Amino acid sequence: MKSFDAIVIGAGQAGPFLAARMVEKGMKVALIERKFLGGTCVNAGCMPTKTLVASARAAHVARNGATYGVNIPGEIAIDMKVVRARAETVTMNARNGLIGWFAGMDGMTVIYGHARFEDLKTVSVNGETLTAPRIFLNVGARPVIPDLPGINDIDYLTSTSIIDLDSLPRHLAVIGGSYIGLEFAQMYRRFGAEVSVIEHGPKLASREDEDISDAIADVLRSEGIDIHTGASEIAFSKSSDGITVATDSARIDASHVLIATGRKPNTDDLGLDAAGVITDGRGFITVDDKLATNVDGIWALGDCNGHGAFTHTSYNDFEIAAANLLDSDDRKLSSRILAYALYIDPPLGRVGMTEKQARASGHKILISTRPMSRVGRANERGETKGFMKVIADAETKKILGAAILGIEGDEVIHGIIDAMNAGTTYPALQWSVPIHPTVSELIPTLLGDLKPV
């Protein structure tokens, strides 16, 4: 049996950085990863997909160059092999950077293999047994495959496997109208494929307010994406030239099907029962406000604890754990203000409560909206789709939440994120002097238009 000061299982966006901090403190650490360093973000998430999004936007801009007085003769051709290779290069550069970083650390042992608990202080991997007084789980999540009629009779894609495509689908049917599915839908439409989005629920991006969901649908429809919501029945069958996707109201002749119906935690094969670690009904590991499980000496970080399925929330889990365990600090999960983005074009930046949540919370609320068509930068760039929205508490003057669907919305939202984390009231932010011409300069104006509802 090999002994360590700490064992980290999973090399996503929390575990490796925590392992590195512990090594800096002179600890002996084992980092166990069953496949690739970097987790979903580096290998099948943010980095490759946003690289693909950038290629798709380049095609879209080139295709619409004449609007700006830039005439490109002939059709815009897409070389999917080059597109895929570019995404793979970005991934490999990041992955190899982590490999090199860890190789230079005395006290760090990287083990590739599938770890399982033998008891609350012991794990086995590759036939070896390891023990440590502290064990951290950062095992991530994977795509959910729903039990739909005919799904096992077809070759379908997931958000992981579609990244490896090096040819253009004739018609891509996306099952699931949430964040991952919508990004791939717009991306492949811009590459030149016909695209249909099929969503079981009544609207796209169901987490969002209805006005945001409607605006997202308008953006996608304007680019020729076919959207089917309220699809209560979905079934698949092979056809002579591809796959038939049948719903209760439509029949789609697709060449490829992407299943984008959510993700589930990678906790079902860790032997958690042997350690006595509790999970909820969906398989997420139950943690307290400091990310500790019910078992002393075991923590869960990142997607597998159900408190944020984002790279930045996973990294924040590392920060919370490191601060509390290594820096004698007192940081809590409940202090986190959730923010995220949807990377369609234009992007959606979101923070805090939706309007629906704010109304249900009992706050006396103020709301302000402003169309992007009234933003100078948006008009100058010829990208006026979407709108800004902010929600505030009428009594405390604190901002409760905001949504910016529009040009640079994923960046502009950070002004609101920073204000909310600093506890700044909206009147104070209203009197800032932003730079012109930017999208962010409209935030004080947006706040100045807050009205009771």
Question: What per-residue confidence (pLDDT) applies to 355?
Answer: 97
> Which distant-in-sequence residues (6+ apart) come within 8 Å of 331 by Cβ?
290, 319, 320, 323, 324
> Which class for 264: exposed (0-12), middle (13-18), buried (19 or more C-beta within 10 A)?
middle
In 96-157, DSSP assigns E strands to 108-112, 116-119, 122-125, 128-131, 134-137, 141-143
pLDDT confidence band for 342 (50 / 70 / 90):
very high
β-partners of residue 350 are 340, 403
pLDDT confidence band for 406 (50 / 70 / 90):
very high
Domains in the chain: boundaries:
2-143+264-335, 151-261, 339-452
CATH topology match: 151-261 vs 339-452:
no
β-partners of residue 365 are 393
Question: What per-residue confidence (pLDDT) applies to 394?
Answer: 97
Q: What is the pLDDT of residues 409-446, one digit of tens each?
A: 999 999 999 999 999 999 999 999 999 999 999 999 99
Question: What per-residue confidence (pLDDT) applies to 437?
Answer: 95
* Residue 436 appears among annotated catalytic residues: yes
CA quadruple 193, 194, 200, 204: dihedral sign: positive
Question: Which phi and psi (to 5°) does residue 279 adopt?
Answer: -120, 160
Question: What per-residue confidence (pLDDT) applies to 370?
Answer: 97
pTM: 0.96
CB-CB contact of 370 with 442 (8 Å): yes
pLDDT confidence band for 31 (50 / 70 / 90):
very high
Q: What is the pLDDT of residues 264-321, one digit of tens each?
A: 999 999 999 999 999 999 999 999 999 999 999 999 999 999 999 999 999 999 999 9
What whole-number percentage of the chain has pLDDT above 70? 100
Question: What per-residue confidence (pLDDT) applies to 198?
Answer: 98
Q: What is the pLDDT of residues 182-223, one digit of tens each?
A: 999 999 999 999 999 999 999 999 999 999 999 999 999 999
> Is beta strand 365-371 parallel, antiparallel or unpaired with respect to 387-393?
antiparallel
d(CA 288, CA 21): 22
Question: What per-residue confidence (pLDDT) applies to 17?
Answer: 97
CATH architecture under which domain 151-261 falls: 3-Layer(bba) Sandwich (3.50)
Of the candidates 228, 363, 414, 436, the residue annotated as catalytic is 436
Q: Which CATH class is domain 339-452?
A: alpha beta
Q: Which CATH class is domain 2-143+264-335?
A: alpha beta
CA torsion, ordered 118, 120, 125, 129, to nearest 10 deg: -80
Omega of the bond leading into 143 within 30 degrees of 0 (cis):
no
Question: What per-residue confidence (pLDDT) applies to 260?
Answer: 98
